[in-house]
Structure 1
Amino acid sequence: MIEIERLTKRYGATTAVDQLTFTVRPGTVTGFLGPNGAGKSTTLRMILGLDTPTGGSATVAGVPFANRPRGLRHVGALLDAGDVHGGRSARAHLSALARSNRIPLRRVDEVLAEVGLGKAAGRRIGGYSLGMKQRLGIAGALLGDPPVLLFDEPLNGLDPEGVLWVRGLFRRLAAEGRTVFVSSHMMAEMEHTADRLVVIGRGRLIADESLAEFSARNAVSSVAVRGPELASLAGVLRAEGAEVRLTEPGFGTVTGMPAERIGELALRHGVVLHELAARTSSLESAFMSLTADSVEYLAGEAR
C-alpha cells in the first residue's frame, strides 16, 4: 500500500505538488491522471525517494522507500524507459539490477521472457525501439517480484498488441493482491484498465474515487438528433429548459433532456426525426471537463 499524506514539493516560488493526500491500496489498478505539469511525475519521484518532499510524507507499507536497502524486492518502478545504458544488453542491464538487490539471476531470463524480449536479450539496448525499451523497463519493475508497482506512462511506444498485453498484465498483478499505480495521459486506456482513479491538477488533488464513481459524477449525457426540421424543434426544446446545439443543417445535440421527452415533444409538434440517440461522454471527456481549470499549457493559446 502507498500512503501519501499532505505531500508537498516546491521549487523556489513554484509549487509542483501541493498538500496531496491519498492512499493506493492493494488488489486494484489505480490510475494516476492529470494534465501535463500537474505534478504526477514529481509525486512518483517522491514516493521512490528520488526527490525530497518540501513537506508531508510518502510511504510504502508504512516505510519511506529510501529506507529499504534492497528496494526492488519491495517496489518495482518504470519512470523513464530511455534512462538506460544503450551499450549494454538487456540481460546485462537486468543482471546488474539483480545483483545489487540480491535477486536470483534466474529471474532475469524469466522476466525477459514474460515481457517478450527473450530473443532480444543479448542485443544492445541502444538498438531497441521505444516499445522494446518500455518492455525492458517493465521487466525491470517485475524483477524483484515486488508487492508494489509504479509505472509512469508505460504505454508510450507500444503497438496495439503491446497495449493489450500491458492491460492484461496490470489486471493480473492486481488480481494477485499487488498494489498497481499507473500514471498515464491515455484516458481511453485507463477506462479499460483502472479500477480506481486519483486525479490531480496544478499539484492539487481533484478526485480520488472508483472509476464508476468518477464516470457517474463527471460524465455528461446528451442526445444526438437528426431530422429535416430541427431548427423549429430547437425552439420548443429550449423553451422546456434543454440546451440545443445545431452542429450543421439537420444535425444537433441536446443536453438537459432525456431522449424520451424529446421524442414526445417532436411528436406533439409534428416534427419528423430521423435519429434520436442517447449518448454518454467518455472518461476522456469527463476528465477534460473536470481538469479544464488546471491545464498548464494550452495549444494555440496566445501569450
Structure 2
Amino acid sequence: MIEVRELTKRYGATTAVDALTFTVRPGLVTGFLGPNGSGKSTTLRMVLGLHAPTSGSVTVDGRPFTDRPRGLRHVGALLDAGDVHGGRTARAHLAVLARSNRIPLSRVDEVLEEVGLAGAAGRRIGGYSLGMRQRLGIAGALLGDPPVLLFDEPLNGLDPEGVKWVRGLFRRLAAEGRTVFVSSHLMTEMEHTADELIVIGRGALIAAESLTEFAARGRRLSVTVGTPDRAGLTALLLGEGAEVEEEAGVLTVTGLSAARIGELALEHRVLLDQLTTRTASLEEAFMELTADSVEYLAGDAR
C-alpha cells in the first residue's frame, strides 16, 4: 500500500505538487492520470525518495521507502526506460541490480524470459529499440519480486502486442495481491486496465475514485439534432432550459432528452431530419476535467 498525505513539492515559486492526499491499495491496478506537467513524475520520485518533499509524507507499507536497505525487494519501479548504461548488456545491467539488492542471480534470467528479452539478453542496451528498453525496465521492476510496483508511462514505444502483454501483466500482478501504480497522461491507456484512478492537475488532486465512478462523469448525454429551422428550434430549446451549440449545420443539445426534443418539434411543427443521442466517452470526461490544467501548464517544465 502507498499512502500519500498532504504531499507538497515546491521549486522556488513553482508548486509542482500541491498537498496531495490519496491511497493506492493492494490487489488493484491504480491509474495515475494527469496532463503532461501535472506533477505525476515528481510524485513518483517522492514515493521512491529520489526527491525530498517540501512538506507532507509518503509511505510504502507503513514506512518511507528510504528506510528499506534492499529497496528492490519491496518496491519495483520503471521511471525512465532510457536511464540505463547503453554499453552494458541487458543481463549485465540486471545482474548489477540483483547483486546490490542481494537477489539471486538466477532471477535475472527468469525476468528476462518473462518480458520476452531472453533472446536479446547478451546484446548491448544501446542497440535496443524504445520498446525493448521498456521491457528491460519492467524486468528491473520485477527483479526483486516486490509487493509494490510503480510504472511511469510504461506503454511508450510498445507495439500493439507489447501493449496487450503489459496490460495483462498488470492485471496478473494485481490479482496476486500486489500494489500496482501506473502513471499516464492518456485515459485510453487505463480504461481497459485500471480498477481505480488518481487524477491530478497543476499538482493538485482532481479525483480519487474507482474507474466505474469516474466513468459516470462521462455519462453526460447530448443529443445531435438536424433541422431546416435551426433558429426556430434553438429558440424553443433554450426556452426549455437546454444548452444548444451549432456546428456544421447541426445542433448539439444538452439538458433535454431526445424524446422531449421530438415532442417539442412535433408540437411546434418543426421538421427534424436527425435526432441522435450520444454519451461522452471516458477520454472526453478526462479531457474536460483536466482542461484548465493543460492550459495553465502549457509552457511550464514538468
Q: Same fold (TM over 0.5)?
A: yes
SS of residue in 2 equivalent to 1:291: helix
SS of residue in 1 equivalent to 2:168: helix
Please tell me the residue identity of whatever aligns with 1:189: E
- Please state how far the C-alpha of 1:205 moved relative to its aligned partner: 1.3
Partner residue in 1 for 2:126 = 126
What runs of 5+ residues in structure 1 fail to find an aligned partner? Answer: none
- Please state how far the C-alpha of 1:275 moved relative to its aligned partner: 3.4
**Aligned counterparts, 1:32-47, within 5 A:** 32-47=32-47
Residues 182-214 of structure 1 show CA distances to partners (whole Å, capped at 9, x for unaligned) of 110111121111111111122211211111112
- Tell whether the 8 Å contact from 1:219 to 1:285 is kept in structure 2 after alignment: no
Q: What is the TM-score with the length of structure 1 in the denominator?
A: 0.93
- Please state how far the C-alpha of 1:167 moved relative to its aligned partner: 1.2
SS of residue in 1 equivalent to 2:287: helix
Matched, 1:275 2:288: no
* Equivalences, count: 298
What runs of 5+ residues in structure 2 fail to find an aligned partner? Answer: none
Partner residue in 1 for 2:61 = 61
Partner residue in 2 for 1:93 = 93
- Tell whether the 8 Å contact from 1:243 to 1:255 is kept in structure 2 after alignment: yes
Partner residue in 2 for 1:205 = 205
Q: d(CA) in 2 for partners of 1:82 and 1:21?
A: 30
Q: d(CA) in 1 for partners of 2:212 and 2:176?
A: 22
**Aligned counterparts, 1:161-180, within 5 A:** 161-180=161-180
Q: d(CA) in 1 for partners of 2:99 and 2:54?
A: 33
The 1:111/1:273 distance shift into structure 2, 3 A limit, reads farther
**Aligned counterparts, 1:138-217, within 5 A:** 138-217=138-217
SS of residue in 2 equivalent to 1:165: helix
Q: d(CA) in 1 for partners of 2:103 and 2:182?
A: 24
SS of residue in 2 equivalent to 1:10: strand
Partner residue in 1 for 2:234 = 234
SS of residue in 1 equivalent to 2:150: strand
Q: d(CA) in 1 for partners of 2:123 and 2:229?
A: 65
- Tell whether the 8 Å contact from 2:38 to 2:297 is kept in structure 1 after alignment: no
- Please state how far the C-alpha of 1:171 moved relative to its aligned partner: 1.2
- Please state how far the C-alpha of 1:227 moved relative to its aligned partner: 4.5
- Please state how far the C-alpha of 1:155 moved relative to its aligned partner: 1.0
Partner residue in 2 for 1:223 = 223
- Tell whether the 8 Å contact from 1:218 to 1:290 is kept in structure 2 after alignment: no
Q: d(CA) in 1 for partners of 2:122 and 2:224?
A: 55
- Please state how far the C-alpha of 1:266 moved relative to its aligned partner: 2.6
Please tell me the residue identity of whatever aligns with 1:253: T
Q: What is the TM-score with the length of structure 2 in the denominator?
A: 0.93
Matched, 1:51 2:55: no
- Tell whether the 8 Å contact from 2:202 to 2:297 is kept in structure 1 after alignment: no
Please tell me the residue identity of whatever aligns with 1:238: L
SS of residue in 1 equivalent to 2:86: coil
